[in-house]
Amino acid sequence: MNISFSPRAARDLEEIGDYIARDNPLRAVSFLNELLETCGKIAAAPLSFEARPDIGPNIRRTVPGRYLIFYTVQPSAVRVERILHGARNWVARCFSLLQWGSTRPAPSPQREQPSPKRADMTHI
- Please write the tens of the pLDDT for every residue from 94-120: 554 344 444 444 444 333 334 344 343
Residues 101-116, buried b or exposed e (16+ Cβ, 10 A)? eeeeebeeeeeeeeee
Q: 124 pLDDT exceeds 60?
A: no
Domain boundaries, the chain: 2-94
Q: 36 pLDDT exceeds 80?
A: yes
Output the pLDDT for position 91: 57
Q: Which residue has the higher pLDDT, 50 or 106?
A: 50
Torsion angle of the four alpha carbons 71, 58, 47, 76, in this order, in degrees rounded to the nearest 10? -80
Residues in contact with 99: Cβ distance below 8 Å, sequence separation at least 6, in sequence order:
106
Q: What is the mean pLDDT of residues 5-33?
A: 95
Q: Which residue has the higher pLDDT, 5 or 1?
A: 5
Domain 2-94: which topology? YaeB-like fold (3.30.2310)
Amino acid at site 42: I
Q: Give me the half-sphere count of Cα atoms (radius 13 Å) on the Cβ side of residue 39.
A: 25
Output the pLDDT for position 90: 59
For the stretch 69-94, pLDDT in tens is 999 998 889 999 999 988 766 555 55
Rounded to 10°, the helix 25-44/7-21 angle is 150
